[in-house]
A and B are shown apart, each in its own frame.
Chain A
């Protein structure tokens, strides 16, 4: 129905082609040539630009890829360095712990030895002080006993020696001196 309608319309309009789909032959030729010219012009003028754009884009993409690769490499190296650093940190921590343990053990041993020496000195000094005090007390006691004994002896002698005893001592002295030579 549509075909018949179009044919009816075309029969009455000279601008209409003989086919409802295809243009006129001349138009096809002219249009084709014009299209070729335009296309050639486009190829000639826009081609280099497009090619350059593609090349630039390719270069940019390549650069980005290179940068990405470099970044990846750098990141890999950084990761390796960090892993290495982490390893060093662990080793350093272990070394520090070992050194601290060693120092603590040395300090502990030194402190124990010093305390034992000081304790030994204190014990020895205390024993010496005790011995000295005992000796001093002993000497003081001896001295006091001697003093009291001497006083007692003198009192006994003084109370015992009367005038007759003194006269007897005088006579004894005279006799002994006279008999000496």
Chain B
């Protein structure tokens, strides 16, 4: 999907969530579903398969969110995206919704990649540290990425703070070469 189409979808979904007063929650739940979608091959093949009827794909989304305490607006908006055959753009749409949600709160989005999941306390302290570093309050979006091996890399707008083992290994490789 083009950036313009992704932005249009994100603006529309953000507007609905904001109108319902659950933008922050929808943002977090979209991000969680997008992360699950990106990391689960079976989920990708099911939700991204246009040959499967839209109702069936939407039912899969409902089953995925059932018992997770997801807000009904989130379920409805996710069903709308998947039913429209935009499951492959879920991560981009979730990211754009995150940007909209953060902007509406006067905050920035900090995308953090880590080899391990971060606790609530770690996310709070990391958010404070990044806000101190960039001078703006941030919404943390954590992506568990085993390829970083260890450490964290945080991206806030154009600012990248990289403390990953992966980057250090790449530097060692470059120096050895």
Contact = CB atoms under 8 A, between A and B. Distances in A.
Interface stretch (A27-35, A36-44, A153-161): A153-161
Given A143-B177, A166-B150, A170-B118, A177 B129 contact: yes
A167 interface: yes
Given A173-B163, A176-B163, A178-B132, A167 B116 contact: yes
Interface residues of B, number: 26
Contacts of A171: 122
B163 A146 contact: no
Interface string A132-169: 00000000000101110110011001100101011101
B126 A177 contact: yes
Interface residues of A, number: 27
A174 B169 contact: no
B176 A146 contact: yes
A4 interface: no
A172 interface: yes
B169 A166 contact: no
A180 interface: yes
Contact of A166 (B116, B129, B161): B116
Nearest to B129: A178
A141 to B, nearest CB: 13
Contacts of A166: 114-116, 150-151
A170 B151 contact: yes
Contacts, number: 78
A158 B172 contact: no
B95 to A, nearest CB: 22
Interface in B137-172: 149-152, 154, 161, 163, 165, 169, 172
A135 B115 CA distance: 41
B138 to A, nearest CB: 11
Given A157-B149, A169-B151, A174-B129, A150 B165 contact: no
A181 interface: yes
B165 A161 contact: yes
Contacts of A154: 169
| Interface-central residue, B150, B154, B177, by most chain A CB under 10 Å | B150
B173 interface: yes
Contacts of B64: none
Given A157-B149, A170-B152, A178-B125, A149 B163 contact: no
Interface of A: 143, 145-147, 149-150, 153-154, 157-158, 161, 163, 165-167, 169-178, 180-181
27 contacts: A143-B177, A145-B176, A146-B173, A146-B176, A150-B169, A153-B172, A157-B149, A157-B150, A161-B149, A163-B116, A166-B114, A169-B151, A169-B165, A170-B114, A170-B122, A172-B163, A174-B125, A175-B129, A177-B126, A177-B129, A177-B130, A177-B132, A178-B129, A178-B133, A180-B132, A181-B132, A181-B133
Given A157-B149, A169-B152, A170-B116, 19 more contacts: A143-B177, A146-B173, A146-B176, A147-B176, A149-B176, A150-B173, A153-B169, A157-B169, A165-B150, A166-B150, A169-B151, A170-B126, A173-B126, A174-B152, A175-B129, A177-B130, A177-B161, A177-B163, A181-B135
